[in-house]
Structure 1
Amino acid sequence: MDIAIVGAGAAAVGLLDALAATADSPGTLTVFEPSPHLWRGRPYGPDLDSVLVNAPPAVMSIRHRDFGHYAAWLGPRGTAHLDERLDRPLVPRALYGAYLTHTAETALATLQEDGWRVRIVTARVTGAARSGAGWSLRTEDGRGYEADHLALCVGGGTPPDPYGLGGARGFVRDPYPLARTLDGVAPGSGIAVIGSGLTAVDVVVSLAAHGHTGPITLLSRSGVLPHVWQRPVDHRPRHVTAERVAALHRQHGAVTLDDLIGLLRAELAEAGEDFGAFAADLLAARTQDPVRRLRAQLAAVDDSAIGRRVLQETAHSVGPYAWRLLPEPDPMRLRRHFRLATSAASPMVPVNAATMLRLLDSGQLAVAAGVRGIEAADGAFRLHGGEGTFDVVVNAVNPPPRAIPRAAGLLVTALMADGAAELHPAGGLAAADPRLHVVGDLAGGGPFITSSIAGVDAQANLAAQRLRTKAPNASGLTVKAGPSGRLESRTATRQG
């Protein structure tokens, strides 16, 4: 069997690791990646030490169902990066990239020992079409390649330019790597950061670490900051699980948003917590002063309440499966809470929250909500309909989930022209051929929250199973308990 993997980021690493554990019939494996930073993708390349992994180790393992894999690799190195509030190591993303690299190289070595022929092609794939029982691929240098199966592991989309500032001097469209983009920023300049999510936090914390002394303003429509991670506890969900969601689906033929709320309500009731108070606190994020809320969240890192912890865990573990079962208009109802949902499901780490609060208290950092436009004029940037002039604008607006990366545009267009894939109505790419596997955030039909490492490794494992069995894609759900007893949902969908 000949397998072609396009892309060499976290999704490809998860697929290689799963293949090394499951593949039994040796074949040829070809990985296509033009970047010099193999296995790291956009998020985990070389960068400033201030750019941290935004989650504790247990949810960052790229090995399927092995929640200690990353922590074991990290070993004693983690003690130098301990977040004392979280009581977990939070390392620079570049170090996490070294973990991904080690995992990929170990998997490739295992496959070679098992008789696989492995090659890395440092060229971009620009075309693909079905040819007989397999695929015919073309790279940008005009060379051709053949494969039986094709796996797309191309990563996330390209950051949008919401105010059309591209080309203006002083505008940074894509902040990563921050080591490059912040290098030329004058220490006393006035900085506007478009957005108030995790990327904006990275920019602000890195500016502070860089010794920036000028004012920094987060420009946001909502003004909502990410929630703050709480210290992990022993609780494992008993009601908000894939098993319970599957049972509801079998019983009623559908799963509604009210059903999911009922499961969360039961989860909190069993723990002696008030769902109404929990929901009111979540909704208050849209109107509460962001500084006051950040201070309260940082103070609650050790709070024993399970509400936010359950929501954060199940948004990524159960959410992708439940999302596909929701009838309209429930997905639309959830989309109206996009900013609130992403803030709760993707929190910032306490060490970054403390830096943000310090800068807010000192007056160096401010949050401006309700921003509707920015224009470049006379070598500066001004807000539409409001006061404020800035020397530099850094775009911290993330690509929408399931967006097609610009670098993969030609390949996706070719697959669609061949009839092998189609755009999913909810975003992303859906495979129309069982020999095409889409792994990572590009996989169509998922929720509006960007795929986490846990979601990526689940998709990678599923793709590896299909490659091992050489079976057509099928729909279904498997539920398994990990080493810690946590139940995991694994959704098999036709898009791979």
Structure 2
Amino acid sequence: MPRLRGMDIAIIGGGAAAVGLLDALTGADGGGTVTVFEPSAALWRGRPYGPDLDSVLVNAPPAIMSIRHGDPGHYAAWLGARGDAHLDERLGQPLVPRALYGEYLEHTAEKAVAELRERGWRVEVVAAPVVGVARSGRLTLRTGDGREHVADQVVLCVGGGRPHDHYGLGGAPGFVGDPYPLARTLEDVPPESEVVVIGSGLTAVDVVVSLAARGHTGRIGMVSRTGVLPYVWQRPGPHRPRHVTVERVKALLDARGEVTLDGLAGLLRAELADAGEDLDVLLADLRAAWTEDPVRRLRRQIAAIDAPEIGRRVLQETAHTVGPYAWRLLPEHDRDMLRGWFRVASGVASPMVPVNAARLLELFDSGQLRVVHGVTGIERVNGGFRVDADRVETAGLVVNAVNPPPHSVPQAAAALVSSLVDEGLAAAHPTGGVVPADPRLHVVGDLAGDGPFITSGIPGVAAQGAMASRAVLAPVG
């Protein structure tokens, strides 16, 4: 890359997205500054990967957890022999505690900072939140301590925020509004108490498995509107998509002048047909998620961890690799149809790891765990909580494990986002999040309002970071 002089880059947020961006910037020589604004103590780790219980695991194999875009072996190489102690025998892959993955992010960030400094950049971390950005020829960032910082390029890496309090229970004794870190929130939970976990997704799985790991003996209810559990990871296979690829989607666009769900389904049908499989069988399985008993479904998926069929494996991989590109080409009515399948789609794209699935099944079979769906309300009653659902539940403790929807604005970033919109630097997207309205502003992560409805995993964040780095360096380079 050419030598860049005098460019001042501001990165707002210091979690995984910022790490991917910093790593992607290291190829550029420069004489400017890179300033990272992160007020929390979890620098480089973000909310998900701070110190926590060992039962809180990375939810994907190493090959798709690399924060370096284009280098899928980067994380596995860092992990090395340490992964042997954390092997998920059913998956055949190491699944380490998230705190250990946080060490990987820290190491990658610190190495990137050192390399940037060697190449002439001045790198600084400011432990204060950015609460506003104004146009002043260049861009002026105002931090919560009243100081101002000037930048030429600004990248938002603010993360996804915290769970929403859908039932207005905030402040009630016995209500845990944000479960992480579980080492703190579960520390004083009486082992014999009845616990209700709001949600049935991956965060809820973390809570239930961690309660069990701490020796909890009381009954646990996973309560949600749908009662749909995530799918279970299957053992990775050798198949690499040949039809469901970005190149084939581009060819579809060139040939038909549009990309529709029917067109994408045709690519998937061809992919499965080459393997001797039928798309209609896969679609029937997806539709059954709404009605099939969740325990029976979980048992069936655990039995299929080693199954040879490629259908779900292809969906899991391409949801993150092809999905973001295809999403932007779909007509709005097709997007709306997919949004209606959010719960199932997210469960396929981000399944639970087999070791957690097996533990859930043990808890279901023992009668300690149950799934309750059709929840319409939760209220504080007589020193405990009452859950109104298909059957009434009561509990002494409620843990909120409902993740914020994609593209939602984190509460801590609300003032900043309002400032960006008011200044005309960004525009609110109709389905949530923001889109840049100025070429000097860039968004990495789920705050990007024009992205797909499935929450970004590490591969998506790494890809966005690499793309943002190219855009940031383009004005001078």
**TM-score, length basis structure 1:** 0.93
- Provide the C-alpha distance between the structure 2 equivalents of 1:430 and 1:360, rounded to a whole number of angstroms: 44
The answer (yes or no) to whether the contact 1:157–1:401 under 8 Å persists in 2 is: no
- Provide the C-alpha distance between the structure 1 equivalents of 2:241 and 2:430, rounded to a whole number of angstroms: 31
The answer (yes or no) to whether the contact 2:225–2:374 under 8 Å persists in 1 is: yes
1:421 paired with 2:421, answer no
Measured after TM superposition, the shift of residue 335 of structure 1 is: 1.2
Offset from partner CA, 1:178-230 (integer Å, 9 cap, x none): 01110111100000001100000000000000110000000011111100000
More off after superposition, 449-458 vs 155-164? 155-164
Measured after TM superposition, the shift of residue 377 of structure 1 is: 1.3
1:458 to 458, 463, 469: 463
Measured after TM superposition, the shift of residue 247 of structure 1 is: 1.1
Partner of residue 476, structure 1:
none
1:216 to 214, 220, 238: 220
Write the letter of the residue equivalent to 2:357.
A
1:93 to 81, 98, 102: 98
Partner of residue 84, structure 2:
79
- Provide the C-alpha distance between the structure 1 equivalents of 2:93 and 2:259, rounded to a whole number of angstroms: 36
Partner of residue 136, structure 2:
131
Offset from partner CA, 1:290-330 (integer Å, 9 cap, x none): 11111110111111110000000001111111111111311
- Provide the C-alpha distance between the structure 2 equivalents of 1:18 and 1:26, rounded to a whole number of angstroms: 17
Partner of residue 173, structure 1:
177
Partner of residue 14, structure 1:
20
Partner of residue 40, structure 2:
35
Partner of residue 304, structure 1:
308
Question: For 2:142, what is the secondary structure of its paired residue?
Answer: strand
Partner of residue 491, structure 1:
none
- Provide the C-alpha distance between the structure 1 equivalents of 2:476 and 2:426, rounded to a whole number of angstroms: 18
- Provide the C-alpha distance between the structure 2 equivalents of 1:69 and 1:452, rounded to a whole number of angstroms: 16
The answer (yes or no) to whether the contact 1:24–1:468 under 8 Å persists in 2 is: no
The answer (yes or no) to whether the contact 1:425–1:445 under 8 Å persists in 2 is: no
Question: For 1:329, what is the secondary structure of its paired residue?
Answer: helix
- Provide the C-alpha distance between the structure 1 equivalents of 2:89 and 2:214, rounded to a whole number of angstroms: 22
2:350 to 346, 349, 352: 346
1:201 paired with 2:205, answer yes
Residues 1:196 and 1:77: Cα distance change in structure 2 (over 3 Å) = same
Measured after TM superposition, the shift of residue 372 of structure 1 is: 1.1
1:378 paired with 2:382, answer yes
Measured after TM superposition, the shift of residue 378 of structure 1 is: 1.5
- Provide the C-alpha distance between the structure 1 equivalents of 2:297 and 2:161, rounded to a whole number of angstroms: 31
Write the letter of the residue equivalent to 2:12.
V
Measured after TM superposition, the shift of residue 471 of structure 1 is: 7.3
Offset from partner CA, 1:249-291 (integer Å, 9 cap, x none): 1222210011111111110000111111111112111111111
Q: Structure 1: 5+ residue runs without aligned partners? A: 473-496
Question: For 1:192, what is the secondary structure of its paired residue?
Answer: strand
Write the letter of the residue equivalent to 1:11.
A
The answer (yes or no) to whether the contact 1:228–1:350 under 8 Å persists in 2 is: yes
- Provide the C-alpha distance between the structure 2 equivalents of 1:31 and 1:467, rounded to a whole number of angstroms: 14
1:148 paired with 2:152, answer yes
Q: How does 1:28-427 map to 2 (within 5 A)?
A: 28-132=33-137, 134-384=138-388, 386-427=391-432
The answer (yes or no) to whether the contact 1:153–1:440 under 8 Å persists in 2 is: yes
Measured after TM superposition, the shift of residue 158 of structure 1 is: 2.6
Question: For 2:332, what is the secondary structure of its paired residue?
Answer: coil
Question: For 2:76, what is the secondary structure of its paired residue?
Answer: helix
The answer (yes or no) to whether the contact 2:230–2:350 under 8 Å persists in 1 is: yes
The answer (yes or no) to whether the contact 2:53–2:182 under 8 Å persists in 1 is: yes
- Provide the C-alpha distance between the structure 2 equivalents of 1:471 and 1:114, rounded to a whole number of angstroms: 16
Partner of residue 485, structure 1:
none
Question: For 1:246, what is the secondary structure of its paired residue?
Answer: helix
Q: Structure 2: 5+ residue runs without aligned partners? A: 1-6
Question: For 1:156, what is the secondary structure of its paired residue?
Answer: coil
Write the letter of the residue equivalent to 2:9.
I
Write the letter of the residue equivalent to 1:234.
P
More off after superposition, 462-471 vs 142-151? 462-471
Residues 1:95 and 1:437: Cα distance change in structure 2 (over 3 Å) = same
Offset from partner CA, 1:129-182 (integer Å, 9 cap, x none): 1221x2111111111111111111100033111111111110111101101110
Partner of residue 440, structure 2:
435
- Provide the C-alpha distance between the structure 1 equivalents of 2:222 and 2:30, rounded to a whole number of angstroms: 53
Write the letter of the residue equivalent to 2:414.
G
The answer (yes or no) to whether the contact 2:199–2:402 under 8 Å persists in 1 is: yes
- Provide the C-alpha distance between the structure 2 equivalents of 1:89 and 1:303, rounded to a whole number of angstroms: 20
Write the letter of the residue equivalent to 2:193.
S
- Provide the C-alpha distance between the structure 1 equivalents of 2:333 and 2:476, rounded to a whole number of angstroms: 34
The answer (yes or no) to whether the contact 1:156–1:399 under 8 Å persists in 2 is: yes
Partner of residue 492, structure 1:
none
**TM-score, length basis structure 2:** 0.97
Question: For 1:115, what is the secondary structure of its paired residue?
Answer: coil
- Provide the C-alpha distance between the structure 2 equivalents of 1:51 and 1:359, rounded to a whole number of angstroms: 17
- Provide the C-alpha distance between the structure 1 equivalents of 2:20 and 2:331, rounded to a whole number of angstroms: 31
Measured after TM superposition, the shift of residue 410 of structure 1 is: 1.1
The answer (yes or no) to whether the contact 2:29–2:120 under 8 Å persists in 1 is: no
Aligned residue pairs total 470
1:449 to 445, 454, 457: 454
2:8 to 2, 14, 20: 2
- Provide the C-alpha distance between the structure 1 equivalents of 2:366 and 2:420, rounded to a whole number of angstroms: 53
- Provide the C-alpha distance between the structure 1 equivalents of 2:159 and 2:386, rounded to a whole number of angstroms: 33
How well do the aligned residues superpose, as a CA RMSD in angstroms?
1.1
The answer (yes or no) to whether the contact 2:159–2:447 under 8 Å persists in 1 is: yes
